[in-house]
Amino acid sequence: MGNSIAHKTRYALTFLCFILVVLFTLFLFTKRTLEPYLSFYQPSFHIHSSNAAFIDGNQTLDTAHENREMCDLYTGTWVKDDDYPIYKPGSCPYVDEAFDCQSNGRPDSNYLRWRWKPDGCDLPRFNATDFLERLRGKRLMLVGDSMNRNQFESILCLLREGLTNKSKMYEVHGYKITKERGYFIFKFEDYNCTVVFVRSHFLVKEGIRINEQGNSNPTLSIDKIDKTSDRWKQADILIFNTAHWWVHGKTARGINYYKEGDYLYLKLDAVEAYRRALKTWARWIDENIKPEAKLVLYRGYSSAHFRGGDWNSGGSCTGESEPILSGAVLDTYPFKMKIVEEVIQEMEVPVILLNITRLTNSRKDGHPGIYGKALKEGKTNSMRREDCSHWCLPGVPDAWNELIYATLVLKK
């Protein structure tokens, strides 16, 4: 009798051990299989690379980190996609009149149907609801010139597509977006998050000096951060840019314009001034940003496409209807972007370079040209300047924000 009980006990223990081994094996297998998908939802701002690999365009991550180097998000081509644009022309109330090309009479629409595709992978399909969920309780801030306002309007329109009740998205002060105003805060009530634009043409301090004749002249203190920087500290995700204002007027000539301390340079090369200003910005980031709590991106130079002159000398882009898909122009890379890369590499705080320069090289078809507010109002004038720097919306800046979304999806 005793031997029978002992035998049954040993059998039961053996069977139990077998079951535990099977369960443990299944646990390890399931964890390893699902881990890449589960990590998709982990809230963290730690990301040190802009390279990543996707299996497909449905937000499914590749299963192994070692494959991330296979795909550079910023090397690729534009492909036709009939599912684009993501929001319909004229549907978004946050596109200012200068960028609303269809409403301003642009007759063609093929420029709206191009999607950026990196070589070797696809971007995840943009999901406005998921983007908003990732922004829940946070503040995303774009700091820069009118190119960042162009991008800011794009991101508002993209995120608006994820709202069931669009009245719960609004500018907190009731301001309408115009180029005259340099500060906007948009609240998304259901997600307790905000998207903010802060105008800062140079990221360093603009000022005024009085010359010997009593006249006031603008100056740029390349060793001092911009006066809007206190606002930057309030953000969880920061997207910076500066570039286009460094080629205008006194900025380009550099005569009696740049200052360091109390010293006013009689003449300073604009490229060198740009380098010193970026280092001032980088120093501020290193001293004021905690990388474990905030995410910092710097958007690269956005290409202009003037033919037959510059922005102030009759340059034109009207009539361009297709991207440039081959040729040496696609590899054009301004020296200022090399400076940006060098400065970022020397920083202590990791900054993601949203390197959209080559991406925009090909999109000569994406600018407003003559299709601005003046044309809409019937104010045609052969001497009117065309806009071949900014972008129509919907349009190219939507792709920049798709890349930001991909970055948030991939953050580790």
pLDDT at 23: 62
Q: 59 — alpha (psi -120 to 50), left (phi > 0) or beta?
A: left
Per the structure, how many domains does the chain have?
2
* Sheet strands side by side (includes 237-240): 169-171, 183-188, 193-199, 139-144, 237-240, 295-299, 352-354
pLDDT at 76: 94
pLDDT at 176: 95
- Sequence-distant (6+) residues with CB within 8 A of 309 are 315, 316
Q: Are residues 213 and 320 in the same domain?
A: yes
Q: What kind and span of H or E run contains 78? A: strand 76-80
Q: Are residues 52 and 136 in the same domain?
A: yes
Q: Are residues 96 and 228 in the same domain?
A: yes
Cα–Cα distances in angstroms (integers) from residue 44 to residues 41, 134, 237, 291, in the given order: 9, 10, 12, 10
- We report the CATH number of the domain holding residue 82 as 3.40.50.1110
Neighbours of 81 (CB within 10 A): 12
pLDDT means per 10 residues in the chain (412 residues)? 54 63 54 36 35 35 41 93 97 96 96 95 94 98 97 98 97 95 98 98 92 80 98 98 84 86 94 97 98 96 90 87 92 95 98 97 97 63 77 98 94 67
Q: Are residues 29 and 70 in the same domain?
A: no
For residues 154 and 261, what is the distance between their CA atoms, to the nearest angstrom?
Answer: 38
Specify the 3-state DSSP secondary structure of 201.
Answer: coil
pLDDT at 253: 75
pLDDT at 10: 62
318: exposed, middle or buried (C-beta count within 10 Å: 0-12, 13-18, 19+)?
Answer: middle
| Residue 142: domain span | 47-410
Catalytic residue, candidates 305, 365, 390, 398: 390
Q: Are residues 278 and 395 in the same domain?
A: yes
44 is catalytic: no
Q: Are residues 33 and 53 in the same domain?
A: no
Q: Are residues 21 and 59 in the same domain?
A: no
Q: Are residues 372 and 265 in the same domain?
A: yes
331 is catalytic: no
pLDDT at 38: 33
7 is catalytic: no
Q: Are residues 166 and 226 in the same domain?
A: yes
Structure tokens of 145? 């010139």
Q: What kind and span of H or E run contains 159? A: helix 146-160
pTM metric for this prediction:
0.83
47: exposed, middle or buried (C-beta count within 10 Å: 0-12, 13-18, 19+)?
Answer: middle
Catalytic residue, candidates 100, 122, 365, 387: 387
Q: Are residues 190 and 229 in the same domain?
A: yes
Q: What CA dihedral angle connects 252, 254, 257 and 263, to 10 degrees?
A: 150
Catalytic residue, candidates 100, 122, 145, 146: 146
For residues 335 and 194, what is the distance between their CA atoms, to the nearest angstrom?
Answer: 34
Picking from 233, 319, 248, the residue whose alpha carbon sits closest to that of residue 284 is 233
Q: Are residues 57 and 30 in the same domain?
A: no
270 DSSP 8-state letter? H
For residues 213 and 318, what is the distance between their CA atoms, to the nearest angstrom?
Answer: 44
**Given the DSSP bridges, would you call strands 216-225 and 258-260 parallel, antiparallel or unpaired?**
parallel
384 DSSP 8-state letter? P
Q: Are residues 7 and 123 in the same domain?
A: no
